[in-house]
Structure 1
Amino acid sequence: MYYDCYLAICQPLCYRVLMTGPLCIRLAAGSWFCCFLLTAITMVLLCRLTFYGPYEIDHFFCDFTPVVHLSCMDTSVTETIAFATSSAVTLIPFLLIVASYSCVLSAVLRIPSCTGQKKAFSTCSSHLTVVMVFYGTLIATYLVPSANSSQLLCKRSSLLYIILTPMFNPIIYSLRNRDIHEALKKCLRKKSGVCLR
């Protein structure tokens, strides 16, 4: 999505030539393959660990760190490799998105009309909001050293990116809809008795 947005705003005349069907398929397949490969590495590392009860984890779901903490073996190598793969899966896309939106922001600021700037900002703001919420909680959960964060904090931040981000996606994206704007204005008018423009 970020590459598509970058091309649409920064290279609008070349968009049809650059964003082709085969490129979309390659981008999707490449991201799926990389994530599958890095997840498979983590799963192989987990399968090599030995566990001796209790078989209860202190988490809402079967997450990597709580499972590793149940092992009776030395898990330092496993945790280091998992941290490296988590960093690759999390930071590389996040940095690409930040770089893309930096280019988009500079292109939008060069648009001479305020209407054009507003339209471009509204197109990207929804996606950028979702990306920031998702990656912010993901980085806080998996890339902050476990010694510095409590288990309760990890559980709460994992809830944010697993439940709240997908739940807020339709809300954030629908706020761009004019019908939703009008319905919100009517609702606020009824509750406050104030005329909103």
Structure 2
Amino acid sequence: MTSMPRLPLLAAALLTVAPAWAATLYTLPAPTATLDTTVSVTANFAAGAGTGLIDFTLAGYATLDGDNGYIDILRVTLNGSEVFSGTWNLGGGGADRVLFNPNGATVGAVVNQQLTISLPVTLAAGSNQLVFSIDSPTSFEGSDRAGFQGLGDEGWGLNAATVTGATAPVPEPTSGALLLAGLGVFGWLAKRRR
């Protein structure tokens, strides 16, 4: 009979349609105040091992520079390793340029000195630490710029930041029992047909 080979295929199909649970692991409580370029923003959160997504909106104030003689570099690190960096004209001139993007982040256009970025990452099981910072060198060879400029000249902030992560499906006991009962019924029907 042809009903027996269908049973394992049906069981496999039922198991593959089990949803992957996605959870919001971190949300920035409110937009940050205007920060000077010596300040970083750190987010600590727990996650399951696997893929995740960091969505954030960077805001530039005054003359945050793109790629020019006064370059200011956004750096994003996850668990101590840089996962993204780039520079954008958020008020100070210069070219927009992604510098390091191994995970294929999606970078939007600069609108009203704001930039939205969606960054795929690999999360560790347990504790994770995410750090956003602006690297603003304090002096440039051959330029008249020396020392920290301060908020009177340039600043930055985060208007939004969210981390989501996929976790393994964990069926509730009643769901698992229903699945097993359903497979049992299919087995009984297959046996009865023979």
Flag whether TM exceeds 0.5 (same fold).
Answer: no
Richer in helix (by share): 1
Richer in strand (by share): 2
TM range (shorter): under 0.3
